[in-house]
C-alpha cells in the first residue's frame, strides 16, 4: 500500500487523517508544527510524539522532501532553482532579493496549457499539475537556505488551473501552525480563469495578480488564447467583483512587448479598462528568449507608458529585469538542462 504524504494535507485534513486512525486530533497540530516550523524530514525527529505513534506513522505515512537538482546564483543575488520531481518532471523556483526582503516565485504546474505566445513555459505544454506537497515543498526547500518574506505563484503553470492544490498550499502557508506567512505576503497570478477567480476569492484570502498584457480583445486573443473564452469585458467584471480586504488592491501585470502593446495609445486604453478598480500596475519589459519572435521594448517606450499611468494617479511599478545572467525567465533553466541531456552533457 502506498504511503500517504502528509504534506498534501491542510491542518483540518491532517486532523481527519489521524482521527480516522483513532488518534487524538491535537496530534495533527504537533505534526504540522514539526513539518513547517521545525522542517522535520522524518517522524523520528518528532520527539513529542510517542515512539509507538512514530512507528505507526512510519508504516502508513511519509514526508516528502524536495532537493534542488540545480541552483544558479546571479550577480544581482537572484537565485534560480530547478527541482526534478519523482516522475522526472522539472519545475523552477526563483528567489528575488529586494532591499533585504526576499520574494520567492514558485511553480504550480509542470508546463502550462494556456499557450500565451510570449511565455517560454507554454512551449513545454502541460505535463501535469503539481501536488500540494510539491508546491509547498518548493517553499520548504528554499527556506532552508534563505529567509522568505513574500511568496508569489508566478512560476511555471497557471495556478488557477490547479486550484484545489493551490488553495491547499495557500492554507498551509498562512496557517499559524504552518508556515505562518501573512496573507498580505502571498500573491496568486492568473491569466484570467474567471470562474476560478471567484472560487479563490471565496475560499482563501490572498493577493491576486491578473496577467493582462493587452488592451484590446483582438490583440489579447492572439497572444493569450484564454481571452477567447473570457474576453476583457468578462475578465474585468470578475476583477470588479473579486472580494478584496480593506485597503488592498488587485495587481495588473502588463508585459511590454516591443512594438506590440507598448504605445501611448495602449497606456490610454489600459487606464480606461481598469478605471474604478482598486488596482496597481506592474509593467514588465519583455525578457527575450530563444524561439520567440517578440522583442523587448525600448527604454523610451517604457518611460512614456510608465509616466502616463503615473500622471493619472495609478500606482505603477516597472519591474527591473533580474537574473539575466542565470536564465531567470520561467522555463529557461529547465530548457537548458534538457538541451544538455539531449547533447549528452552534464
The residues carrying an active-site annotation are: 92, 330
Output 126-132 pairs: Cβ under 8 A, ≥24 positions apart. Answer: 126/157, 126/161, 127/89, 128/87, 128/89, 129/157, 129/161, 129/162, 129/165, 130/85, 130/91, 130/157, 130/162, 130/165, 131/5, 131/8, 131/165, 132/7, 132/8, 132/9, 132/165, 132/168, 132/169, 132/172
Question: How do beta strands 279-285 and 61-62 pair?
Answer: unpaired
Q: Which three cell numbers stand for residue 139?
A: 517553499
Tell me the C-alpha distance between 215 and 204, whole Å.
29
Angle at which helix 194-203 crosses helix 163-174, to 10 degrees, equals 30
Listed residue (221, 44, 10) closest to 136, CA to CA: 10
If DSSP codes are grouped into helix, strand and coil, which group holds residue 231?
coil
d(CA 229, CA 46): 49
Helix (H) or strand (E) holding 195: helix 194-203
- DSSP assignments along 25-39, one per residue: THHHHHHHHHHHTS-
User: Residue 191 and residue 212: Cα distance in Å, rounded?
Assistant: 7
- Report helix, strand and coil shares of the chain as percent, to nearest 5: 40, 20, 40
Q: What is the dihedral of CA 337, 339, 345, 346, to 10 degrees?
A: 0
Cell of 299: 527604454
Amino acid at each position: 500500500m502506498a504511503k500517504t504524504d502528509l504534506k498534501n494535507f491542510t491542518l483540518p485534513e491532517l486532523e481527519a487523517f489521524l482521527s480516522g486512525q483513532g488518534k487524538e486530533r491535537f496530534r495533527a497540530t504537533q505534526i504540522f508544527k514539526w513539518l513547517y516550523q521545525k522542517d522535520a524530514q522524518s517522524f523520528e525527529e518528532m520527539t513529542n510524539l510517542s515512539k509507538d505513534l512514530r512507528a505507526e506513522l512510519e508504516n502508513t505515512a511519509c514526508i516528502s522532501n524536495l532537493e534542488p537538482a540545480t541552483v544558479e546564483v546571479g550577480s544581482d543575488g537572484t537565485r534560480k532553482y530547478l527541482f526534478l520531481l519523482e516522475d522526472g518532471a522539472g519545475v523552477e523556483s526563483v528567489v528575488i532579493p529586494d532591499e533585504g526582503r526576499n520574494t520567492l516565485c514558485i511553480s504550480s504546474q509542470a508546463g502550462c496549457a494556456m499557450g500565451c505566445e510570449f511565455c517560454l513555459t507554454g512551449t513545454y505544454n502541460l505535463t501535469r499539475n503539481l501536488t500540494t506537497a510539491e508546491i509547498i515543498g518548493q517553499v520548504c526547500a528554499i527556506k532552508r537556505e534563505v529567509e522568505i518574506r513574500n511568496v508569489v505563484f508566478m512560476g511555471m503553470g497557471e495556478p488557477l488551473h490547479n486550484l484545489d492544490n493551490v488553495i491547499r498550499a495557500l492554507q498551509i502557508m498562512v496557517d499559524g501552525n504552518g508556515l505562518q506567512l501573512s496573507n498580505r505576503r502571498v500573491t496568486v497570478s492568473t491569466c484570467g480563469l474567471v470562474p476560478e477567480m471567484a472560487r479563490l476569492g471565496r475560499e482563501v484570502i490572498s493577493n491576486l495578480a491578473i496577467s493582462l498584457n493587452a488592451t484590446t480583445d483582438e490583440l489579447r486573443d492572439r497572444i493569450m488564447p484564454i481571452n477567447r473564452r473570457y474576453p476583457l469585458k468578462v475578465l474585468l467584471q470578475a476583477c470588479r467583483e473579486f472580494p478584496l480586504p480593506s485597503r488592498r488592491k488587485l495587481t495588473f501585470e502588463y508585459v511590454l512587448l516591443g512594438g506590440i502593446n507598448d504605445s501611448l495609445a495602449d497606456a490610454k486604453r489600459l487606464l480606461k479598462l481598469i478605471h474604478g478598480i482598486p488596482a496597481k500596475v506592474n509593467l514588465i519589459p519583455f525578457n527575450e528568449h530563444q524561439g520567440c519572435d517578440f522583442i523587448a521594448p525600448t527604454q523610451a517606450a517604457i518611460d512614456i507608458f510608465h509616466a502616463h499611468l503615473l500622471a493619472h494617479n495609478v500606482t505603477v511599478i516597472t519591474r527591473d529585469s533580474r537574473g539575466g545572467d542565470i536564465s531567470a525567465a520561467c522555463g529557461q533553466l529547465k530548457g537548458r538542462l534538457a538541451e544538455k541531456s539531449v547533447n549528452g552533457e552534464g
